[in-house]
Amino acid sequence: MDAADLSTLLGLPGSTAHVDVARTADGREVVLVADDLTLTCPWQQPDDWNGATVVLPWYDTESLFADLPPDPRRPFVRTKFSVATDLLARGFGIVAIPWWAEELAISSPERNLADRYGAPAAAALEQGWSTGLGRSMRDVLTVVETIDPDAGRLAILGHSLGGKLALFAAALDPRLSACVTHELGLGWDHSNWFDPWYFGEVRPDVDCDQILALVAPRPVLYGAGHGFDGDEGIAMARSVATDDWQVDILEHHNGHRPSPEALADAYTWLYDHTRG
């Protein structure tokens, strides 16, 4: 498999997104308008910017910032996961990309994934997307292309849903010079890859090891907390080796959510792999 095969599998390029970049009080924002939906992606650089920008595909954006209030449209409060705040404090620029399906479901009280995201996934198929994962990747890749001239060295970091998107984005776009993918469910037998907002009815004839191999020789950090990702995922990651390249492993036992120590290790790894 190569990147062109992967694009075909996902149903890319799909429909085109209209993109604007606007100045804000905190920096800039990338605004994507497509498929009857508008997504606003905060783009910030600290005063002591280290020359690298980390793309953060996530369910939402406000949970990524320690000081942002909950979105009043959502009838419950998502748990804070202040990765953007952490990275900015360490000198990284960030671009946070909210997930289209969460934006469509934002006013729903449902917490069960199928009840919350089933309707948005069905709507994407009706709009002509062959996979929900392809619909997600169009947004991420469009943002990467938009920020590329001004964002310095680009990396991507994701957890769970974001870990899936981070891996696929890095496999498809060589502008992403480093990738951190944490607790994504490495291997189709793990996690929920065949839910309709990912592959749905599509069945790839390769597994995640070949997706990982597409990122080589760029560095990848695979986080396994023994939630969705444990010994089998680690073995799959270690099986992918080309020439002198192999996946770096961040193993911990905090479960699906990374511990503060695991996150700190990931930030250090990103710094080491985006320098110069």
- pLDDT (tens digit, 9 = 90+) per residue, 79-105? 999 999 999 999 999 999 999 999 999
Residue-level pLDDT at 170: 98
> What would the pLDDT profile of 35-69 be if each residue is shown by its tens digit?
889 999 999 999 999 999 999 999 999 999 999 99
Nearest CA among 155, 177, 167 for reference residue 55: 155
In the chain, the number of structural domains is 1
Query: From residue 176, how far is each of 72, 161, 168, 219, 258 by CA, in Å?
Result: 33, 18, 11, 10, 23
SS3 of 240, please? coil
Cα distance between residue 139 and residue 59, in whole Å: 13
List the chain residues with pLDDT less than 50.
none
| 192 and 198 Cβ atoms separated by less than 8 Å | yes
Cα distance between residue 143 and residue 54, in whole Å: 12
Task: CATH number of the domain at 136, please.
Answer: 3.40.50.1820
| 21 and 3 Cβ atoms separated by less than 8 Å | no
Residue-level pLDDT at 16: 87
Residue-level pLDDT at 243: 82
Residue with tokens 């009706």: 126
Residue-level pLDDT at 223: 98
**Which range marks the domain in which residue 14 is found?**
3-273
Q: What is the pTM of this model?
A: 0.97
